[in-house]
Amino acid sequence: MKLRFLAVILMGCMTTLAGLAQASVVDTLQQEYKTAGAGPFSAAKGEKMWVEKHKDAESGKEFSCQTCHTDDLKKSGKHEKTGKVIDPLAPSVNKERLTDIKFVNKWFLRNCKQVLGRECTPQEKGDFLEYLKGQ
Partner 1 sequence: MIDRNQKNDRSVLVWDLPVRLFHWLLVTAFAMAWLSYEDNRYLDVHTFAGYTFLGLLIFRLVWGVFGTHYARFREFSYGPGDAIAYIKGLFGDDMRRYVGHNPAGAWAIFALIAMGLVLTVSGLFVLGGEERHGPLAGIVGFRQSVPFRETHEFVAYTLLLLVFVHVCGVLVESFFHRENLVGSMFRGTKSVATATLGVRPHRLVGATIIAVVAAYVIATFGGYLTATKEKPYLPFQGPHLVMNDPWTEACSECHLAFHPSLLPLRSWQQILKQQADHFGDDLALDEKTVNELLAYAQKNSADLEQTEPAWRMNSNIPSSETPLRITDVSYWKRKHEEVDAEVWKRNEIKNRANCGACHFDAKQGTFEDADMRIPGENAFDGIEWLKAILGGKDK
Report in angstroms how near the CB of residue 65 gets to partner 1 at its nearest: 15
Q: How far apart are the first and last CA of the chain?
A: 34
Q: Interface with partner 1 includes 61 (CB under 8 A)?
A: no
Question: Looking at the DSSP assignment, which residues form a beta bridge with residue 78?
Answer: 85
Q: Is the dihedral of CA 76, 80, 82, 83 positive or negative?
A: positive
What single-letter amino acid sits at 129?
Answer: L
The minimum distance between CB 83 and partner 1, in angstroms, equals: 4
Q: If you ran DSSP here, which 8-state letter would residue 96 be given?
A: T
Pick 42 or 111: Cβ nearer partner 1: 111
Q: How far apart are CA 20 and CA 85, in angstroms?
A: 27
| Count of residues touching partner 1 (by CB under 8 A) | 11
Q: What single letter denotes the amino acid at residue 18?
A: A
Q: Give least dist CB 32 to partner 1, A.
A: 17
Q: In this chain, which stretch among 2-10, 76-84, 93-101, 124-132 interacts with partner 1, using CB under 8 A? A: 76-84
DSSP at 117:
S
Nearest 5°: phi and psi at 52? -60, 135
Q: How far is the CB of 56 from partner 1 (least distance, A)?
A: 9
User: Should residue 81 be labelled a site residue for partner 1 when binding is judged by CB under 8 A?
Assistant: yes
Instruction: Select the residue interacting with partner 1 from 1, 37, 44, 83 (CB under 8 A).
Output: 83
Residues that bind partner 1 (CB under 8 A): 58, 79, 81-84, 106, 109-110, 113-114
